[in-house]
Structure 1
Amino acid sequence: MTHPTVVLVHGAFADATGWIGVISELRSSGIPVIAPSNPLRGLTSDAAYLASVLAQVEGPALLVGHSYGGALITVAGMAENVVGLVYVAAYVPHEGESLGELQGSFPESPLTGSLKKWTYPLLDGDFGVEVTIEEVAYPGVFAADVPEDVAGILAAAQRPIATTAFTEGASAAAWRTKPSWALVAGADRAISPEVQRFGAARAGAVVVELPQASHAVVLSEPARVAALIRDAVRATS
């Protein structure tokens, strides 16, 4: 049996090393896997980057998106070689919908009041705005079930996301034509579980819920995350 290549897409305030435990689990099962870096500069450009990665993957690919990464796999998942989508504590937008609009239909999560704004230069000489999570708030908001010392390191090393990522509408919704799976983190304080459940249900995804899991579920529960990915791999092989 030939497995699709699993492409792991991280979200905001993190990087691809967050998938370390999941990668180890999948490789132990002989499943090919890559975890490209997410630019975090905007939904349209980030999805285009992911699409360029997929164009260079030989054979079928299974996309896995954590957090904001869920929006990217929703758009880039239209690529012909994508056979399925797995959402992990993720946004699942509809075509034309921005993440701000999706989130705005539900009560605000603690993340909203914990963001710190930064600026960065644009090519036209203007400045863009990006955000991180306040370091003191990061453990509780993002990684409540991760050891405190590790959460502190993650807070110091977090990658900012451009605010345009939350205002650009998704140009496509691949879940309309591709099978999908979703893991809901029941104790998530970054993307509320209600938002995750709504998106997963709308997509008709096969859903697994971990009631005590934080937003950092890919780090805290790698075996459970990998188990859902294996289910998707088996279904799409």
Structure 2
Amino acid sequence: MRVRISTVVALAAAVVVTATASVSGSAAAVAGSKTKTKPTIVLVHGAFADSASWSGVIEQLQRRGYPVVAAANPLRGLSSDAAYVRNVINSVPGPIVLAGHSYGGAVMTNAAAGDPDVKALVYIAAFAPDKGESALELSNKFPGSTLGDTLAPVPLGDGTNDLYIRQDLFRQQFAADVPKRQATLMAVTQRPVRDAALSEGSGEPAWKKTPSWFLIAGADRNIPVAAQRWMAERAGSRATIEIRKASHAVGVSNPGPVTDLIVRAATAR
């Protein structure tokens, strides 16, 4: 079979063009992976929840072009949980904005201390302890928390307990403004927190040197609203917003305002 020389040349040219385009595309992809115009948002869930509790917020952040990492908070002990989240932070190229919910706020307060890549802290119905303070101490500093009456402890054999919220009380305690079907799923899939984690004192807090933003859940039954306001004021919050009828699960019921506050922190100068 005869093949015209012109045909061979044309085919060779096509291969060269295709290969060049492929190499250029790969280079562009690599360059794109190294070009970071927005900070990574690292989300830290709290007790009685998991990373899926951030789903609505994650979707909105991604639509706005933010890279997101939802850390799996172990819920075993404040210092060990903070060490784990610090490892997550160290795996992410900076800059970083940390957002923590509930006990996750105490964890990020410790995990971010002294880290120059963390540009902002966003507390979502969260604990912001000072050195030596525990989540349990802060929740009892002001009246209003009814969490203790809803807990179901599971002994761990070492003198400590895993704490769950009773499923039949979960919605009214934790997620009163979340649709019943969704709150029921949250109750069944909740992750327990070890009681020792809630009573462990904090280390040096990141909020003393890193700018902070606070969202207060106005109908919170876990962390008293007065405690949330007090912690925000003490930390010198750059901006504090309050959603009057929001439950403790405010990130689930109100992902829009939570996302807006995180973006506000991410774009602050």
TM-score w.r.t. the length of structure 1 is: 0.95
Matches of 2:68 and 2:102, distance apart in 1: 19
Runs of 4+ in 1 over 4 A off after TM superposition: none
C-alpha deviation, 1:127, in angstroms: 5.0
Q: Does structure 1 retain, via aligned residues, the 8 Å contact 2:50–2:72?
A: yes
Matches of 2:129 and 2:159, distance apart in 1: 27
Residue 44 (structure 1) aligned to one of 64, 71, 79? 79
Matches of 1:119 and 1:60, distance apart in 2: 41
Matches of 1:102 and 1:220, distance apart in 2: 24
Residue in structure 2 matched with residue 29 of structure 1 by the alignment = 64
Residue 191 (structure 1) aligned to one of 223, 229, 233? 223
Residue 262 (structure 2) aligned to one of 225, 229, 232? 229
Q: Does 2:178 align with 1:178?
A: no
Partner of 2:236, secondary structure, is coil
Matches of 1:57 and 1:187, distance apart in 2: 34
Q: Does 2:250 align with 1:214?
A: no
Amino acid at match of 1:231: R
C-alpha deviation, 1:130, in angstroms: 1.2
Amino acid at match of 1:223: G
Residue in structure 2 matched with residue 9 of structure 1 by the alignment = 44
Residue 112 (structure 1) aligned to one of 140, 148, 163? 148
Matches of 2:247 and 2:141, distance apart in 1: 21
Aligned length: 232
TM-score w.r.t. the length of structure 2 is: 0.84
Matches of 1:108 and 1:214, distance apart in 2: 13
The 5-angstrom pairing of residues 124-203 of structure 1 reads 126-203=158-235
Greater Cα radius of gyration, structure 1 or 2: 2
C-alpha deviation, 1:45, in angstroms: 0.4
Bigger drift between 99-108 and 45-54 goes to 99-108
Amino acid at match of 2:90: A
- Extract unaligned runs of 5+ from structure 1: none
- Extract unaligned runs of 5+ from structure 2: 1-35
Partner of 2:116, secondary structure, is coil
The 5-angstrom pairing of residues 59-78 of structure 1 reads 59-78=94-113
Residue in structure 1 matched with residue 132 of structure 2 by the alignment = 96
C-alpha deviation, 1:85, in angstroms: 0.1
- Distance change (3 Å), C-alpha of 1:53 and 1:175: same
Higher helix residue share: 2
Q: Does structure 1 retain, via aligned residues, the 8 Å contact 2:144–2:221?
A: no
C-alpha deviation, 1:153, in angstroms: 1.1
